[in-house]
């Protein structure tokens, strides 16, 4: 006979699948090699700066499909690597022959040709940044929740996409206080507008109460329901999104709420590090986030990787209980 916890977990998965099946609109690429072969725009989208990302400017180019693009141009370098603030200037344009021509709000020019972006006062090559915790092995005392090479899959239903864990999962075990490391990859969906909740939507949902959003929010302003946000509760201090189909990392330090009997005596707290940069610093959570705020809080429970009809991949997931 299945436990009530197992029935609850199964019901949640069915609910997510039913409620979000309509979200999968437009073509979604899940593999960078295939995307590069089938859509030339994929090779243009990405980040442009000096090799270390610290430059007089930093450029993030977002593909909008059909040869159309927009770009976020930062002063001082890229976010997390020299940008003077979270503000940027948006350029828009399209492919013209063998180059992409974009214009800023005051007529500023930005031309992308090959792997080079040239603007007024700067000229940079396309770069690929990697999180400093990408590929980090589980430390002593930690347990893998998903590790393909070792054949470890601690999730239900455990569905995979090649060597990677697919979205729509619930951990088999329950946890209390922990450091959770995971790596995720959002799909490339250029036909879906930037900021849309259909652009690579998933989420790391702790105890089915507290969600750190997963979304392709590359090259746009951070908001309270975009990637890195404590969903509909708090926007990240910095938008540290890498381009779609790039591997990204979350390192989440979580302290569960405390109870005396049925009475909560201490709120949950969370620190989130996205691609090596702290975006939430020991934030107190008086209740759950989004829909999770309507559910009873718990002193110990499972970790959910939400499914919203978008093919988001996960790998190298480990947890260190505290």
Domains of the chain listed by start with CATH number: 4-25+132-321 (2.60.120.560), 32-127 (2.40.128)
280-307 pLDDT per residue, tens: 999 999 999 999 999 999 999 999 999 9
Spatial CB neighbours of 183, under 8 Å, sequence gap ≥ 6: 134, 135, 247, 248, 249, 314, 315, 316, 317
Q: What is the pLDDT of residue 11?
A: 46
Structure tokens belonging to residue 94: 């399209």
Q: What is the pLDDT of residue 55?
A: 86
Between CA 68 and CA 94 the distance in angstroms is 4
- The helix/strand/coil state of 171 is strand
- pTM for the model: 0.92
Angle at 236 between CA 300 and CA 16, to 5 degrees: 50
169-228 pLDDT per residue, tens: 999 999 999 999 999 999 999 999 999 999 999 999 999 999 999 999 999 999 999 999
End-to-end CA distance of the chain: 32
In this structure, are residues 101 and 93 in contact, taking their beta carbons and an 8 Å threshold?
A: yes
Structure tokens belonging to residue 177: 């206080």
Structure tokens belonging to residue 210: 């507290």
Mean pLDDT by 10 residues, the chain (322 residues): 43 42 70 97 96 86 97 96 96 97 97 95 95 98 97 98 97 98 98 96 98 98 97 98 98 98 97 98 98 98 96 98 98
């Amino acid at each position: 006979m299945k436990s009530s916890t197992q029935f609850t977990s199964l019901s949640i998965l069915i609910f997510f699948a039913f409620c979000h099946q309509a979200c999968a609109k437009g073509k979604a690429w899940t593999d960078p090699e295939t995307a590069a072969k089938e859509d030339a725009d994929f090779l243009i989208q990405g980040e442009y700066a000096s090799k270390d990302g610290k430059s007089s400017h930093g450029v993030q180019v977002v593909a909008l499909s059909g040869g159309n693009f927009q770009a976020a141009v930062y002063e001082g370098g890229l976010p997390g690597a020299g940008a003077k603030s979270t503000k940027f200037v948006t350029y828009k344009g399209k492919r013209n022959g063998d180059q992409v021509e974009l214009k800023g709000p005051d007529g500023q020019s930005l031309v992308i040709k090959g792997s080079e972006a040239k603007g007024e006062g700067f000229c940079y090559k396309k770069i690929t940044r990697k999180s400093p915790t990408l590929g980090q092995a589980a430390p002593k005392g930690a347990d893998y929740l998903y590790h393909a090479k070792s054949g470890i899959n601690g999730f239900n239903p455990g569905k995979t996409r090649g060597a990677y864990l697919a979205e729509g999962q619930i951990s088999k075990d329950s946890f209390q206080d922990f450091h959770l490391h995971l790596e995720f990859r959002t799909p490339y969906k250029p036909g879906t507008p930037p900021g849309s909740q259909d652009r690579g939507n998933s989420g790391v949902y702790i105890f089915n109460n507290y969600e750190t959003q997963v979304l392709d929010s590359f090259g746009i302003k951070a908001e309270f329901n975009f990637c890195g946000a404590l969903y509909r509760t708090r926007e990240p201090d910095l938008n540290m999104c890498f381009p779609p189909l790039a591997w990204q990392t979350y390192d989440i330090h979580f302290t569960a709420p405390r109870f005396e009997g049925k009475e909560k005596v201490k709120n949950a707290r969370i620190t989130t590090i996205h691609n090596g940069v702290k975006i939430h610093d020991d934030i107190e959570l008086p209740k759950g986030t989004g829909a999770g705020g309507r559910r009873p809080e718990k002193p110990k429970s499972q970790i959910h990787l939400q499914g919203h009809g978008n093919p988001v991949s996960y790998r190298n997931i480990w947890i260190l209980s505290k």
